Structure 1
């Protein structure tokens, strides 16, 4: 076999190996960073709940696992509701970074019209918290979530949110349709 062909094959194998092993290392670093942030978030939320003596329920309880979403039913509501990923929910809400006083989002508008969302198209923390709490129409719910169930490691400049923000939502459930 001519030397040029052998050298080309060796270079191809070396380049392919670098690509494969380089991507493995990167994916492990990403997974490590995600796990580190999850631990930081969960500890910060647990501390906040304890310091403020909140009666929060961890989604997944009594078997507490890695779900970083807690909820507090402020008012159970009166009209029974059934939730699925395809449910359309009509809500009033406020949103802030956990521990902050300033809101970064609210559903309030001058016309007094409340927004509707398909539950399965909302952020994961809403999907998990609303489904777990099972509040009725007319109920009110507070959801506290880790960054991985909100917007994760991405800045949300339209809301003024830095990456890895812990979120605190107060949600009034006006209607649920399936």
Structure 2
């Protein structure tokens, strides 16, 4: 993706070893530019990566200012702790080629890369954090050392072409996600029906979108309309009974109900859909398939991807 910041901020992902483009040629030497950038750049010839050797200062075959490089990128500390790996993220990154922020910078490295090239670059951590990341150096990084960047350039394009590619990629990802969701809703629906039978729930209803709900106490007030502010007490749990959180004893809200505008997309779709079925004062059980909750998005260790959620709710108040 195209990032708003100049480069990715470092994220500690744990120590692991990566297979880099230069692992098969460990005897290959690093070269150093006049600005102090240590590098090894490889090109593909007959299916093999070959060290390009020393690259002349006036070589203009690499990426130019204003262009965008689509690449896989990883970088690690001097003690081989991996901080970022785009392959672990499942997609390459797109970085615009900008003016260098210091001598021997990552921006300088990008201008040495051509489409299809792979490169290994050693960059000063002191300069990197001070001039590119623009943040204090974290305690696990030792001053005076370097980060080693491993780059594999897939495309070098104009900004316009890169944006078009990015849009196409997003559309393809969205279509793939929708197809996965179609299958997941079938899986979730079967699990919810089994749960209903196991718990002996009666008078279960289902919305068009797919939320199952049971009104356990019928309220006498009106139903909320889209745009109304609703106040809801809730208890969240998994189908196995494990409780995750409750508004009744939430210290952050002082035990007050959760208030939000209905039908505005500010909560999960299952809530917008389920709460709309209730009269003010009602209590109910909402069984929400993962596709109407957080879907493939895991929310830490407490909530894995594709989690079906049970909410025991009370619609306390409606304000137009």
- Quickly name the TM-score band, shorter chain normalised: 0.7 to 0.9
Candidates 101, 118, 132, aligned match of 2:241: 101
Determine whether 1:141 maps to 2:289: no
Q: CA deviation at 1:103?
A: 1.3
Listed one character per residue, the Cα deviations across residues 32-91 of structure 1 (whole Å, up to 9, x for unaligned) are 32211111111111111122221210113xxxxxx321100010123x223122111112
Alignment check: 8 A CA contact 2:275 2:315 kept: no
Determine whether 1:168 maps to 2:304: no
Candidates 188, 192, 216, aligned match of 1:74: 216
Q: Gaps spanning 5+ residues in structure 1: where?
A: 1-18, 61-66
Give the TM-score taking structure 2 as reference length: 0.43
Where does 1:1-178 land on structure 2 (aligned, <5 Å)?
A: 29-55=176-202, 56-60=204-208, 67-78=209-220, 80-97=221-238, 99-109=239-249, 111-120=254-263, 121-132=266-277, 134-135=278-279, 137-157=280-300, 160-178=302-320
Q: CA deviation at 1:155?
A: 0.4
C-alpha distance in structure 2 between counterparts of 1:48 and 1:35, whole Å: 20
SS in structure 2 of the partner of residue 129 of structure 1: helix
Q: Gaps spanning 5+ residues in structure 2: where?
A: 1-164
Q: CA deviation at 1:170?
A: 0.5
C-alpha distance in structure 2 between counterparts of 1:152 and 1:128, whole Å: 16
C-alpha distance in structure 1 between counterparts of 2:294 and 2:195, whole Å: 20
Higher strand proportion: 2
C-alpha distance in structure 1 between counterparts of 2:313 and 2:178, whole Å: 32
Alignment check: 8 A CA contact 1:68 1:148 kept: no
Aligned pair in 2 of structure 1 residues 96, 26: CA closer, same or farther (>3 Å)? same
Higher helix proportion: 1
C-alpha distance in structure 2 between counterparts of 1:166 and 1:87, whole Å: 27
Q: CA deviation at 1:108?
A: 1.9
Alignment check: 8 A CA contact 1:150 1:167 kept: yes
Q: How many residues align?
A: 151
When the two chains are superposed, the root-mean-square deviation of aligned CA atoms in Å is 2.6
| Larger relative contact order (Cα-Cα within 8 Å, sequence gap ≥ 6) | 1
Q: CA deviation at 1:101?
A: 2.2
Alignment check: 8 A CA contact 2:282 2:315 kept: yes
SS in structure 2 of the partner of residue 73 of structure 1: strand
C-alpha distance in structure 2 between counterparts of 1:131 and 1:172, whole Å: 12
